[in-house]
């Protein structure tokens, strides 16, 4: 895997340009949550989330090796995917910065394995870690989906480094 990372370097692709180009791919945004060994809730904003398999039900996301929350995800086998709704932009920004008190004032419930599930999300998935793969400067997490809830709220959209509402994008198109 370290070799693959070096090969990418040899292609001469500038990481910042790569990030910009990848920004052309519009995504939703999720907060992935788990708990530390002492039960404290942990969460971070992620847009690398995607579906993998329907049978068995599998999803994936990738976690930076530099993230302070990495040890919590390595040591606990359950995590939650909170698909953010368009009204959760503030929450999205809050969970995208390292902080000890990210959950202060945030409304959430606990699910299987103590997994925090945020109120007012567009949807929830509770997962058990199925596999972890090396992925360059990230670690790829594949989760087996244990439970799902869809609240049918409009999603928060991330595109070219900005947050958008789906309705605005569609209106602009017309």
Ligand X SMILES: Cc1cc2nc3c(=O)[nH]c(=O)nc-3n(C[C@H](O)[C@H](O)[C@H](O)COP(=O)(O)O)c2cc1C
Chain residues that interact with ligand X, rule: CB under 6 A: 29, 44-48, 61-64, 67-69, 96-98, 158
- Which residue number, 12 or 34, has a Cβ lying nearer to ligand X? 34
- Which residue number, 12 or 161, has a Cβ lying nearer to ligand X? 161
- Which residue number, 12 or 82, has a Cβ lying nearer to ligand X? 82
Q: Contact, 30 vs 61, CB < 8 A? A: yes
Q: How far is the CB of 174 from ligand X (least distance, A)?
A: 26
Q: How far is the CB of 55 from ligand X (least distance, A)?
A: 25
Q: How far is the CB of 169 from ligand X (least distance, A)?
A: 16
- Which residue number, 10 or 136, has a Cβ lying nearer to ligand X? 136
Could you tell me whether strands 78-83 and 123-135 are parallel, antiparallel, or unpaired per DSSP bridges? antiparallel
**The pair of three-digit structure tokens given for residue 92, joined into one six-digit string:** 């999205």
- Which residue number, 59 or 63, has a Cβ lying nearer to ligand X? 63
Contacts of 156 (CB under 8 A, 6+ apart): 28, 29, 84, 85, 86, 88, 89, 92, 122, 163, 164, 165
Q: How far is the CB of 153 from ligand X (least distance, A)?
A: 18
Q: How far is the CB of 138 from ligand X (least distance, A)?
A: 6
């Amino acid at each position: 895997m370290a070799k693959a990372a070096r090969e990418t370097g040899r292609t001469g692709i500038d990481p910042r340009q790569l990030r910009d180009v990848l920004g052309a791919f519009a995504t939703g945004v999720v907060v992935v949550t788990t708990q530390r060994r002492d039960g404290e809730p942990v969460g971070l904003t992620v847009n690398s989330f995607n579906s993998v398999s329907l049978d068995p039900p599998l999803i994936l996301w990738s976690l930076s090796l530099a993230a302070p929350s990495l040890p919590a995800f390595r040591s606990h086998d359950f995590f939650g995917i909170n698909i953010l709704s368009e009204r959760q932009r503030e929450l999205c920004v809050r969970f995208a910065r390292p902080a000890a008190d990210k959950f202060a004032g945030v409304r959430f419930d606990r699910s299987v394995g103590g997994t925090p599930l945020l109120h007012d999300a567009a949807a929830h998935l509770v997962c058990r870690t199925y596999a972890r793969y090396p992925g360059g400067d990230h670690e790829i997490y594949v989760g087996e989906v244990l439970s799902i809830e869809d609240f049918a709220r409009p999603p928060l959209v991330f595109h070219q480094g900005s947050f958008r509402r789906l309705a605005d994008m569609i209106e602009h198109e017309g």
